[in-house]
């Protein structure tokens, strides 16, 4: 009860009784707190909410299309023999799937109504994030803001006669960016819209916000179709002259989830099995290292405790993904590409649980959100049984009390051309911007395909402890307001297509996180002296 109160949450008596009677109240409380990080949620935890979170006894997929409450049992007598000594594995993987798009949940007819529902859901969910914050309370509808131009005109006339006349009131508007341009005087002109109407916002050049940051710099970072709050003064022409641009952002003060025991998770992506440039020797070296072979002395205590492996898409290279790809393929069948990967993953120690999502090269639809890779194409992976968990993109996983957000990162293709400073060589920069915007792919109509659904799956309405991207082929580790940022690089050397696109990979780098402390480390399985040019 004290933990709930400390977070500003209240719990109904019958809900508290249910938690106590589960037999594992501490674990249930951890899970509730992780799920209730959502700032849009009401602060009272009901019995119905707890029952929904627990998902029932059969742990099946819910009617909403969210795959939930996956707990995979281990044999209690399993022991792994290791160079570092014998290590007894726990009875279960402490793993829950909070959210994963299923095939049934991501279908759409593509009608105008579907597109309208998608953007309305995005707007409403991010708007709720703003209305719960102190600095954005009092935001009004655009229709009401435009009406204030009458006051502005009156105040302007009175101001000419009396300098002591009342100044126009400050106005805050939450809206979706409909258009953006730059004036001759270098002001940023933004057209915002909400269900009540549209308004022109002027972000003046040379003006700073209350923190001393350039307003124009913030304005340059705005993307079409994102939801933002802009504050300022309505002028006599009905425009909002901005004095601040406020993102939904990640709260500064929050307690990240941590494991109760010392256990580690490894993060990789973009393996590209089947490619001529697939680094098979390096990947095998990584698998053998996970099994305890050729482990450096300083890692002998850590390696036996790596119990989770997250793979953020592009498990195989695919077929026909880009023009003339067949010239770059060693294996020209996706079935055989996945079979090769399964061959190596099967060599991982039995203690390791593998969690995967699809990427743009996998045998899956291109539009986000993506369901899991179909068993028809990747039956060899599915035959690994409970050792592997095939999820969709994006997915939230609660592992050992730590919330992990997994997405391949398709939207990086748009962000590297739209955001100042963003590039494939510095993927942490756009990843942080997406956290600030609380959306994984705000821009519609660019390179990133988005399915028109009644729910926008790409809104970051749960605050993760770890966010894991791939796609950039460039390893990056950073931290933003307590969120551990990982872009896991690749196990593919530079292809001709990458060279033409200016992508210089950093292959064979694996990021490993201590889930008890949150501390990341990287280990290299590639000789970078072989790479020509900058990395």
Distance CA(380)–CA(384), nearest Å, equals 7
Distance CA(498)–CA(328), nearest Å, equals 11
Q: What average pLDDT does the segment 510-519 reach?
A: 97
Angstrom CA distances, 174 to 180, 182, 195, 237, 516, stand at 16, 21, 11, 20, 38
51 falls within a domain: yes
Here the CATH number for the domain that contains residue 186 is 2.40.50.140
pLDDT at 530 over 70: no
What phi and psi values does residue 509 have, to the nearest 5 degrees? -105, 125
443 falls within a domain: yes
Total domains in the fold of the chain: 3
Tokens of residue 475, six digits: 């390893």
* Residues 294, 285 contacting (CB under 8 angstroms): yes
Per the prediction, the chain carries an average pLDDT of: 84
Say whether both 26 and 153 belong to one domain: no
- E strands along 214-345, which residues? 227-234, 240-246, 264-268, 306-312
Say whether both 281 and 422 belong to one domain: yes
315-366 per-position pLDDT tens digit:
999 999 988 888 899 999 999 999 999 999 999 999 999 999 999 999 999 9
* DSSP letter (8 states) at residue 439: B
Question: Which range, of 89-103, 299-313, 429-443, averages the lowest pLDDT?
Answer: 89-103
Question: Which range, of 114-123, 339-348, 367-376, 500-509, averages the lowest pLDDT?
Answer: 500-509
Single residue among 246, 275, 290 that ends a domain in this structure: 246
Higher pLDDT, 151 or 143: 143
Residue 8: which pLDDT band, with cuts at 50, 70 and 90? low
pLDDT at 40 over 50: no
pTM above 0.85, yes or no: no
- pLDDT confidence of residue 83: 36
Say whether both 241 and 314 belong to one domain: no
Considering 4-8, 151-155, 183-187, 205-209, the range whose residues carry the highest mean pLDDT is 183-187
Q: Are strands 509-514 and 264-268 parallel, antiparallel or unpaired?
A: antiparallel
- pLDDT confidence of residue 64: 39
Count of residues for the chain?
535
pLDDT at 106 over 90: no
pLDDT at 165 over 60: no
With a CB cutoff of 8 Å and minimum separation 6, the contacts of 169 are 148, 151, 233
298 falls within a domain: yes
pLDDT at 1 over 80: no
Partners of 396 in beta bridges: 99, 405
Residue 245: which pLDDT band, with cuts at 50, 70 and 90? very high
Residue 261: which pLDDT band, with cuts at 50, 70 and 90? very high
Say whether both 447 and 316 belong to one domain: yes
477-507 per-position pLDDT tens digit:
999 999 999 999 899 999 887 888 778 899 9
Say whether both 366 and 217 belong to one domain: no
* Residues 194, 174 contacting (CB under 8 angstroms): yes
- pLDDT confidence of residue 76: 30
Here the CATH number for the domain that contains residue 506 is 3.60.21.50
Distance CA(430)–CA(440), nearest Å, equals 10
* Residues 440, 395 contacting (CB under 8 angstroms): no
Say whether both 493 and 408 belong to one domain: yes
Sign of the Cα pseudo-torsion (301, 77, 95, 24, in order): negative
Distance CA(288)–CA(301), nearest Å, equals 16
Q: At what angle do helices 47-54 and 25-35 cross, to 10 degrees?
A: 100
- Domain housing 233: 133-246
422-452 per-position pLDDT tens digit:
989 999 999 999 999 999 999 999 999 999 9
- pLDDT confidence of residue 123: 97
Single residue among 216, 246, 276 that ends a domain in this structure: 246
- pLDDT confidence of residue 86: 40
Single residue among 13, 28, 57 that ends a domain in this structure: 57
209 falls within a domain: yes
């Amino acid at each position: 009860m004290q933990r709930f109160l400390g977070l500003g949450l209240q719990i109904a008596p019958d809900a508290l009784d249910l938690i106590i009677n589960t037999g594992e109240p501490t674990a249930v409380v951890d899970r509730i707190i992780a799920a209730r990080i959502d700032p849009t949620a009401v602060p009272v935890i009901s019995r119905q909410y707890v029952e929904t979170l627990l998902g029932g006894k059969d742990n099946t997929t819910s009617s909403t299309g969210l795959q939930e409450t996956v707990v995979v049992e281990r044999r209690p007598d399993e022991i792994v023999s290791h160079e570092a000594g014998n290590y007894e594995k726990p009875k279960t993987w402490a793993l829950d799937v909070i959210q994963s798009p299923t095939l049934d949940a991501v279908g759409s007819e593509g009608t105008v109504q579907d597109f309208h529902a998608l953007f309305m859901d995005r707007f409403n969910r991010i708007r709720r994030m703003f209305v719960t914050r102190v600095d954005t309370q009092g935001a009004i509808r655009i229709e009401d803001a435009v009406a204030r131009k009458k006051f502005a005109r009156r105040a302007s006339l009175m101001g000419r006669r009396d300098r002591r006349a009342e100044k126009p009131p400050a106005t805050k508007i939450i809206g979706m960016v409909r258009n953006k341009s730059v004036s001759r005087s270098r002001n940023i002109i933004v057209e915002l819209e909400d269900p009540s109407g549209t308004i022109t916002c002027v972000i003046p050049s040379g003006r700073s916000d209350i923190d001393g940051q350039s307003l124009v710099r913030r304005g340059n970072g705005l993307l079409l179709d994102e939801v933002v709050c802009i504050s300022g003064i309505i002028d006599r022409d009905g425009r909002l002259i901005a004095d601040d641009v406020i993102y939904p952002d990640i709260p500064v003060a929050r307690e990240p989830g941590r494991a109760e025991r010392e256990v580690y998770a490894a993060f990789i992506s973009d393996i590209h099995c089947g490619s001529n440039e697939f680094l098979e020797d390096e990947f095998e070296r990584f698998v053998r290292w996970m099994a305890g072979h050729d482990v450096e002395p300083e890692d002998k205590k850590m390696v036996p405790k790596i119990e989770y492996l997250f793979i953020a898409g592009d498990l195989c290279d695919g077929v026909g993904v880009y023009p003339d790809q067949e010239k770059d393929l060693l294996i020209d069948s996706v079935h055989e590409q996945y079979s090769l990967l399964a061959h190596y993953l099967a060599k991982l120690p039995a203690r390791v649980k593998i969690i995967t999502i699809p990427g743009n090269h996998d045998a899956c639809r291109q539009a986000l959100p993506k369901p899991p890779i179909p068993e028809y194409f990747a039956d060899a992976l599915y035959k690994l049984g409970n050792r592997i968990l095939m999820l969709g993109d994006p997915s939230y996983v609660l592992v050992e009390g730590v919330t992990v957000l997994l997405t391949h990162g398709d939207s990086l293709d748009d962000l590297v051309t739209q955001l100042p400073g963003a590039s494939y060589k510095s993927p942490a920069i756009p990843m942080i911007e997406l956290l600030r915007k609380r959306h994984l792919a705000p821009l519609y109509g660019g390179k990133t395909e988005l399915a028109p659904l009644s729910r926008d799956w790409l809104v970051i309405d749960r605050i993760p402890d770890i966010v894991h991207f791939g796609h950039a082929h460039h390893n990056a580790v950073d931290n933003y307001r307590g969120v551990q940022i990982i872009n896991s690089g690749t196990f593919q050397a530079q292809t001709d297509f990458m060279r033409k696109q200016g992508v210089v990979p950093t292959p064979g780098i694996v990021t490993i996180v201590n889930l008890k402390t949150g501390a990341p480390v990287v280990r290299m399985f590639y000789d970078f002296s072989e790479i020509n040019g900058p990395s």
